[in-house]
A and B are shown apart, each in its own frame.
Chain A
Amino acid sequence: MSAQGTTIKSKEELIAKWSKPEVISGSEILLRSLLLEGAECVFGYPGGAVLYIYDAMHGFDDFKHLLTRHEQGAIHAADGYARSTGKVGVCIATSGPGATNLVTGIATAYMDSVPLVVITGNVATHLIGTDAFQEADIVGITMPITKHSYLVRKAEDLPRIIHEAFHIANSGRKGPVLIDIPKDVSAQKTLFQPISGVQLRGYNPTIQPNKNQLDKMLRAIESAEKPVILAGGGVVYSGAHEELYEFVTKTGIPTTTTLLGLGGFPSGNDLHMGMPGMHGTWTANMAIQSADLLINIGARFDDRVTGKLAGFAPNAKIVHIDIDPAEIGKNVPTDIPIVGDVKAVLQQANALAKPATKADAWRKQIQEWKAAKPYSFIDSDTELKPQWVVSMIHETTHGDAIVTTDVGQHQMWAAQYYPLNKPRSWVTSGGLGTMGFGFPSAIGAQMGNPDRTVVSINGDGGMQMCAQELAICAINNIPVKVVIINNQVLGMVRQWQELIHENRFSHIDLAGSPDFVKLAEAYGVKGYRAANKDDALRVWKEALEHPGPAVVEFVVRRNENVYPMVTQGSTIDQMIMGDAE
């Protein structure tokens, strides 16, 4: 199977095909139900407790499964698929170690509200609780990091549970749902009938906002002199980028997008201020700190955004729009809470919104800040600079690629120097900060977007946490362009040790890393390396034109730091601007 040419039958066709009630195994019920939910591609790894499930795949041509080389690769791929498509990502692993290998991926998805349905096998029902071979209480282990979970006791419950799981995963505040299926349940035969509709008394997300609160916000905009919009992942997840654009255009409020909100608002727009927070722009941080009105749209006031809470947005009236009521008032006291789906809220707001007419001087101030202090770095003619590499990638892909990143300095440089104009083009682990996420998530993004260029930007550290998935790119010709920004060091840790631990460098040297070109070639993937600008541009263009997957290693300056930087415990206007100043 390649990223191209998966033909998926429509739900109607499938229902017609399976309309006659039939006695089939729990495993086949699982596969049919997944297809009925629209699962185009499932990432997984077989094992003892899921043998019946994998047996059911044999000859089941409608069902597309991609065999990864590690369960962690499977779940990050499912995550990348989900983030880049808006559909539910699905992965399968066996019991015990298979299931526990998913834990990091589940936590990653939970922190960033990514809809996943995670299927695990478990030992047979009569063995549960006996410390049987490859038994792990994965429902218990993952309770704090799943939106919901199920231990299936009877095969006849499977259609309902799978339908509920998809509903829960992809509605309200999205998130991962785990379904644990004991081996005997996957073997059990029972009558299968497709199910529709869910009845969940304890689950009714609020979609439409309270009118009074909405009016309060609109009045606050009219009287604001220094309004700011802080837009987060919720804008992307609710598909509200057009509504946000309309809202910003109508009101004329300068807008900053968080790490997960990147692409939710066009970065080229005059009113866009870039990213806020620890490595955000001067403009966004100064704007928040000076604002008299801060409208948070689908962001959760993460500590990397707010810096020291006590001094955050000290003069601002706070409006917080979120589908999760628990986020409102959690970190930042809120004056105008608006619970609802961002898209629904903005649709209603747009019908009534008036321009922030008192903010002319403010908009002028923003433009001055933007002009005076954009992201900047000192380029070099002798060494490759990572910021230059990312800018070069941006230019050659016309800013139109889907970019996935790992975690660390390269992630921040990608966020700074790959400005995005479209939603669902940015796949990054924000909340959990999961190293090893960047590359496998690109595989999922490519599977979900066969017609787009997918560039995965990694460091030399994180790349080694899931490099084994190069195999599936090679075998299935998944044409991901894997970038390794190689500075031969765990750069972000180095930066903190330099700036905060007074140059006491401890265990950050990545000497002994493989020759990444040879590593790629060992898997049958095209490998390139560049250490100067001419080579960089040449090999990168070659890699882009190469029809299959490619690994491109850019050997960059070791001691480069990410700036601006707000150190922990500081307010976000206390930025270290770095070498370029």
Chain B
Amino acid sequence: MNRKFTIAILVNDQPGVLQRVSGLFGRRGYNIESITVGASEEPGLSRMVVVTTGDDHTLEQIQKQLYKLIDVIKVIDVSGNPMVGRELALIKISAEPSMRPEVLGIVETFRAAVVDIGPSTLIVQVVGDSEKIDAMIELLKPYGIRELSRTGVTAMNRGAR
């Protein structure tokens, strides 16, 4: 049965390492729903977080194949345990001044923020899990979404794990 998995990959911060990881997903037919990369707690190492879908067999193969890359230090199925997963979205919507109070109401309810106001547009910034961002997008759709940019999920396990 296909499920969604969130995998954290600790890698050497080397040129080409993103290509090695994403290329592996591509050529073996694994799906990438989102991928984020950035610094980790240790200098010289980066952490990637990949959201993918597949069955348990696929997840096992993904982990094993990733470990074969020399630049991969550690692979964790973050979604296998309680986790915090967050992404950020910037949503530019059409908003004439008359519409703004209504929009601001939605933004406030979602504890999102308006980070730019143009003559006829607003940029809304929302942080949260993917479902929250999906919901925000749905609510803003009636106003006309001009541009949408999501970072993809970054995640870690809760507690001492």
0 or 1 for each of B117-156: is its CB under 8 Å from A? (1 = yes): 0000000000000000000000000000000000000000
0 or 1 for each of B58-74: is its CB under 8 Å from A? (1 = yes): 00110011011111110
Which B residues between 1 and 47 are near A, CB-CB below 8 angstroms? 11-12, 15-16, 19-20, 23-24, 27
Bound form: Cα–Cα A324–B61 in Å? 12
Bound form: Cα–Cα A202–B27 in Å? 21
CB of A326 within 8 A of CB of B61, answer yes
CB of A151 within 8 A of CB of B15, answer yes
A263 → chain B closest CB, angstroms: 27
0 or 1 for each of A321-351: is its CB under 8 Å from B? (1 = yes): 0001110011000000000000000000000
CB of B23 within 8 A of CB of A144, answer yes
The 4 closest A-B pairs by CB, nearest first: A326-B64, A148-B70, A202-B73, A203-B70
A25 → chain B closest CB, angstroms: 24
**Closest B residue, CB atoms, query A164:** B70
- A5 within 8 Å of B (CB atoms): no
Q: A326-B61, A329-B60 are in contact. Are A143 and B19 (CB under 8 A)?
A: yes
CB of B16 within 8 A of CB of A202, answer no
CB of A325 within 8 A of CB of B73, answer no
- B161 within 8 Å of A (CB atoms): no
B53 → chain A closest CB, angstroms: 19
**Closest B residue, CB atoms, query A201:** B73
Which A residues between 281 and 302 are near B, CB-CB below 8 angstroms? none
A309 → chain B closest CB, angstroms: 13
Most buried by B among A148, A202, A324: A202
- A111 within 8 Å of B (CB atoms): no
A residues less than 8 Å from B60 (CB atoms): 329
**Closest A residue, CB atoms, query B73:** A202
B45 → chain A closest CB, angstroms: 9
Extra contacts besides A147-B70, A151-B15, A202-B69 (20): CB < 8 Å: A139-B16, A140-B19, A143-B20, A143-B23, A147-B68, A149-B16, A151-B16, A168-B70, A173-B68, A201-B12, A201-B73, A202-B12, A202-B71, A202-B73, A203-B70, A325-B67, A326-B67, A329-B60, A329-B61, A330-B61
**Closest B residue, CB atoms, query A200:** B70
B residues less than 8 Å from A201 (CB atoms): 12, 73
Which A residues between 120 and 147 are near B, CB-CB below 8 angstroms? 139-140, 143-144, 147
Bound form: Cα–Cα A325–B68 in Å? 9
A207 → chain B closest CB, angstroms: 15
CB of B57 within 8 A of CB of A329, answer yes
Residue of B12, B68, B69, B73 near A324 (CB, 8 A) is B68
**Closest B residue, CB atoms, query A175:** B68
B129 → chain A closest CB, angstroms: 30
Can you spell out 10 A-B residue pairs with CB atoms less than 8 angstroms apart? A144-B27, A147-B68, A147-B70, A148-B69, A149-B16, A151-B15, A151-B16, A173-B68, A202-B11, A330-B61
Bound form: Cα–Cα A168–B69 in Å? 11
**Closest B residue, CB atoms, query A339:** B64
A residues less than 8 Å from B12 (CB atoms): 201-202
A residues less than 8 Å from B71 (CB atoms): 202
Which A residues between 304 and 329 are near B, CB-CB below 8 angstroms? 324-326, 329
0 or 1 for each of A153-193: is its CB under 8 Å from B? (1 = yes): 00000000000000010000100000000000000000000
A residues less than 8 Å from B23 (CB atoms): 143-144
B40 → chain A closest CB, angstroms: 13
**Closest B residue, CB atoms, query A148:** B70
A residues less than 8 Å from B16 (CB atoms): 139-140, 143, 149, 151
A residues less than 8 Å from B68 (CB atoms): 147, 173, 324, 326
Bound form: Cα–Cα A139–B71 in Å? 14
Q: A148-B70, A202-B12 are in contact. Are A325 and B19 (CB under 8 A)?
A: no
B residues less than 8 Å from A324 (CB atoms): 68
A residues less than 8 Å from B20 (CB atoms): 143
B residues less than 8 Å from A326 (CB atoms): 61, 64-65, 67-68
Bound form: Cα–Cα A202–B57 in Å? 23
CB of B72 within 8 A of CB of A202, answer yes
Most buried by A among B23, B64, B72: B64
Which B residues between 63 and 120 are near A, CB-CB below 8 angstroms? 64-65, 67-73
Bound form: Cα–Cα A151–B17 in Å? 12
Bound form: Cα–Cα A151–B20 in Å? 14
Bound form: Cα–Cα A148–B72 in Å? 11
Which A residues between 243 and 266 are near B, CB-CB below 8 angstroms? none
Bound form: Cα–Cα A168–B71 in Å? 12
A514 → chain B closest CB, angstroms: 38
Bound form: Cα–Cα A173–B70 in Å? 12
Bound form: Cα–Cα A509–B71 in Å? 48
Bound form: Cα–Cα A428–B79 in Å? 44
Bound form: Cα–Cα A168–B72 in Å? 14
Bound form: Cα–Cα A326–B71 in Å? 17
Bound form: Cα–Cα A147–B16 in Å? 14
**Closest A residue, CB atoms, query B72:** A202
